[in-house]
Structure 1
Amino acid sequence: MIYGGSEKSGFGAFATYLFSHNTRIAIFVFGLGVFACAPAILLTFYNGLILGAFLALHVDRGLGVDLAGWLSIHGVTEISAICIACGGGLQLGMAVLFPGDRSRSDALHHAGRDAVKLALVAALMLVAAAFLEAFARQMVQDLTARFVIGWGVGALWLAWFVFTGRRRR
């Protein structure tokens, strides 16, 4: 049952598990990026495989679209945050692997400034996703509205990333 969250459904516990799991994954992929990049990429890919298997099970039972709507409200933001955290970790890993003309510690220090910004953005996105998961996902029962909210919030994140932080010339 995707709709009508009663206390007995277990979705509250599942939501708590998802948030804590995704927060751990974001921290892990960021931290593992410094170790030659590969562990961060593999962990991100592995979690994508788990999500794909979860979705495939629901598609086989005719609930694929319902699950996609249920996950869209918070998942667009959460999954994007994990990918951004991975990108920050990869930036650190690239500084270690390819320091260029700098020493490795200097390259790591220089890359760390941008990587920390990415980690902070990912943390902000995970907090926003937690609020979306706690409130909007339970209150909004209409499938179309769930898609509109989830992907609309995703579009707002994208607009923020594209249009802010640039200096005008």
Structure 2
Amino acid sequence: MDVDAYAAAHNAEWLRLEELINRAGKLRGAEIDELVELYQRAATHLSVVRSASPDPALIGRLTSLVARGRAAVSGANAPLWRDAARLITVSFPGTVYRQRWWWLGCALFGNLLALAVALWVAGDPRVQSTLGTPYDIQQLVEHDFANYYTEHEAGAFAFQVWVNNAWVSAQAIVFGILLGIPTLYVLVVNQLNLGVTGGLMAAHGKTDIFFGLILPHGLLELTAVYVACGVGLRLGWTIIDPGARPRGRALAEEGRAAMSVVLGLIGVLLVSGAIEGFVTGWVHTTWLRIGIGVVAEIAFLAYVWYFGRKAVAAGDTGDAIDTPDLAPAAA
């Protein structure tokens, strides 16, 4: 298909549609009918261009026009709760479930890396000596590690860790567009820090304290990090191998789905941040503290598997843009 000729043939309709969209609140009678008809035509044009041309500029223009047209025709004042409900029950769990092998792979790799580093650090005093002075290490294992969870007011601490973890997870996803290299860096650094701390605690007989304070919030928090890294790596891989879709279209669709994960993880990390702020350092019964973390983790996984599998079975990819209404018009 000659993209330039196609665009030239329909450009007047697109400009007229844009004009009507800009005046959507002031249209009357025939203009409203015209808006609906032009919106449906533009949706058809977008479908044709996507299937016949990899032109990202034209696809981007038409995608934006169709989205604005949809809002003007049927949902400019749609309640916010409807979008939120779709995010919670479809887009977020559907994308997480669909990309489960990516983040489960990150979880396997990350935990093996942290375990290997912990065993290396715990078993070699020479490695420990390179990580800090004997006094600094003693302070960490005897005081600083445990005091970290109680040295600040619980609410402020929970908010701080929530914002920090949400920011790191968002970076891991968004930077996936750079072929996933920064995403992999985020995962490796996170696991190295976990392994080093665990190794130092184990070397001084504090393994029970380490797991007793890490597991309550860490189960859910680390799962969120693995999900973010898995989605980020999948986004990077889309650039390398877009499959049957044009690369621009594949990246746009996977990118929109990834943004739903960014929003969803904000809620997940709010829960883990609340546990870290109000439970980890303040609930003194170890089994209860860990039990709360286990329940939160099981609830998250059950939520993803139930709603995610349902969304995927229905053919939903997590893309935030719904399938537009097509006009029964010839290309």
Normalising TM by the smaller chain, what interval? 0.7 to 0.9
1:69 is matched with 212
Pick closer, same or farther for the CA change 1:60–1:18 going to 2, 3 Å: farther
Structure 1 alignment gaps of length 5 or more: none
Paired with 2:173 and 2:257, the residues of 1 have a C-alpha distance of 12
Give the 3-state SS of the residue equivalent to 2:231 in structure 1: helix
1:16 Cα deviation from its structure 2 partner: 6.8
Q: Do 2:162 and 2:270's aligned partners in 1 also have CA atoms closer than 8 Å?
A: no
Classify the secondary structure of the residue corresponding to 1:83.
Answer: helix
Deviates more, 1:99-108 or 1:52-61: 99-108
The aligned residue for residue 49 of structure 1 is 192
Shift of residue 153, structure 1, vs aligned partner: 1.1
SS of the equivalent of 1:55 reads helix
Contact 1:81 1:125 in 2 (8 A): yes
Q: Provide the rounded CA distance (Å) in 2 between the counterparts of 1:134 and 1:44.
A: 23
Unpaired segments of 5 or more residues in structure 2?
1-142, 315-331
- Distance (whole Å) between structure 2 residues aligned to residue 163 and residue 20 of structure 1: 28
2:151 corresponds to 1:10 = yes
1:37 paired residue number: 180
Counterpart check, 1:79 vs 2:222: yes
Any residues of structure 2 matched to 1:138-149 within 5 Å, and which? 138-149=281-292
Cα-Cα RMSD = 2.8
Is 1:120 the counterpart of 2:263 in the alignment? Answer: yes
Cα distance, 1:74 vs structure 2: 1.1
| Cα distance between partner residues in 1 of 2:165 and 2:173 | 12
Letter of the aligned partner of 1:162 in structure 2?
W
AA aligned to 1:84 is V
Cα offsets for 1:87-123 (capped at 9, x unmatched): 2212221221111233222111111232122222221
Task: Report the Cα distance in structure 2 between the residues aligned to 1:40 and 1:6, rounded to whole angstroms.
Answer: 27
The CA deviation at 1:81 is: 0.9
- Give the SS at the match of 2:177: coil
Using the aligned pairs only, state the percent identity: 26
Give 1:54 shift.
0.7
Once the two structures are superposed, residues 4-28 of structure 1 have per-residue CA deviations (whole angstroms, 9 ceiling, x without a partner) of x699x63659877654543332122
* Partners of 2:224 and 2:265 within 8 A in 1: yes
C-alpha contact 1:77 1:129 (8 A) present in aligned 2:
yes
Distance 1:45 1:51 in 2: 10
Preserved contact between residue 81 and residue 123 of structure 1 (Cα < 8 Å): no
> Conserved in 1, the CA contact under 8 Å of 2:173 and 2:229?
yes
Distance between the aligned counterparts of 1:39 and 1:145, measured in 2?
37
Q: Which amino acid aligns with 1:150?
A: G
Q: TM-score, normalised by structure 1?
A: 0.83
In structure 1, what is the equivalent of residue 302 of structure 2?
159
Q: Specify the alignment match of 1:133 in structure 2.
A: 276
Aligned pairs, number? 167
